[in-house]
Structure 1
Amino acid sequence: MGFLDTVKNLVSKNADKVDTAIDKVGDAVDKKTGNKYKSVVDKAQDAAKKAVDKQVPPTQQSGQTPPANDPPTAPPIS
């Protein structure tokens, strides 16, 4: 498994934490710049959150672990 695969796996398992971190970083940048680049920061936050959403399977909500696969079942005996 490569580095990017590892990152994608971690992001998909912790999407809610990543979203929170994106918000905190954006708020910190806004504070340091006196909101001078607020619109640019907001666009960057939106883009980052969309990238995270692409990593989370549609049936999985943020912060949930992926569902386990059901074990195979044997055909009924007639």
Structure 2
Amino acid sequence: MLDKLKDLIKGHPDQARQGVEKAGDAFDAKTGNKYQSQVDTAQQKLNEQIGGKEPPASGEGRPPQT
């Protein structure tokens, strides 16, 4: 299954990165940002694995916390 996922991501790093960001943001919203630092770390590690253009630094482009 992991190989299948890698094949889908190959050639589409920007779309994969957007998916990682949206998933992390959705998780943060559901948990009230309780695990935001862990989510940010996971997003960063996934983006490193995806490769391609660097994502924005942690917290950039995110709506302010309420």
Q: TM-score, normalised by structure 2?
A: 0.69
Give CA deviations for 1:26-65 in whole Å, capped at 9, x if unaligned. Answer: 0000000000000000000001001101xx6xxxx6xxxx
Q: Which runs of 5+ in 1 are unaligned?
A: 62-78
Greater RCO (CA < 8 Å, at least 6 residues apart) = 1
Alignment of 1:1-78 (within 5 A): 4=3, 6-53=4-51
Q: How many percent of aligned residue pairs carry the same amino acid?
A: 37
Considering only aligned residues, what root-mean-square deviation do their CA atoms show, in Å? 2.1
Q: TM-score, normalised by structure 1?
A: 0.59
- Structure having the higher Rg: 1
- How many residue pairs are counted as aligned between the two chains? 53
